[in-house]
Amino acid sequence: FEFYTPGFGVAGVIGAVCLLIALYALAMLPLNAVGALLLLVGVALMAAEAFMPSFGALGIGGIAAFVAGALMLIDADIPGMQISLGFLVPLAVASALLLAGTGAFALRARRRPVTAGSEAMIGALGEVVEAADSDLMVRVHGELWRARGDRRFAPGDRVRVRARDGLILEVATAPPGRPGD
């Protein structure tokens, strides 16, 4: 299913973890190998969360795989040969907090104003460089643009970008001052 759908998400995460646990349950892999593989899958999924937009699915699956792998890594039948829960629980909590912190940074970055692309041009201030009938040349962000306006402009007039239509800006009168204000 995962290979036919775009992206890498919940189905792939659950499938990878369940496949490794099924191999363990069917006694096809020794206990230590499954634990080690789950640890590796968990770390890989947590790292992939930083590079792929999965809205936490990869990170949560990674934490679950990491905890399951740590519990399975060492044979619990041998006395004293098991991973301490006092070590494992804080590690899982720290991973979850790191995942939540990364998500918080992503949400904060998403709310910031646009600084690139055509959306960043809207509202920008500029100055008319040439004006001939309805054809204008304006300087916005240090670049020359063809423009059309809501009235006649003269060179030196200050304008504000209202919209962008392809390579032509639609401008309106802006209050007097320097174009960078």
At 109-151, the pLDDT tens digits run 778 776 666 677 888 899 999 988 778 999 998 889 999 888 8
Closest CA to 13 of 57, 70, 44: 57
Question: 73 Cβ partners below 8 Å, 6+ apart?
Answer: 31, 32, 35, 36, 39, 83
At 147-179, the pLDDT tens digits run 988 888 889 889 999 988 888 899 988 877 655
In contact, 145 and 130? CB cutoff 8 Å: no
CA distance 58 to 13: 6
pLDDT for the residue numbered 147: 93
pLDDT for the residue numbered 73: 78
Domains and CATH numbers, the chain: 10-111 (no CATH), 118-173 (2.40.50.140)
At 25-55, the pLDDT tens digits run 777 656 677 788 888 888 888 888 877 777 7
Closest CA to 58 of 41, 40, 70, 75: 41
CA distance 126 to 32: 66
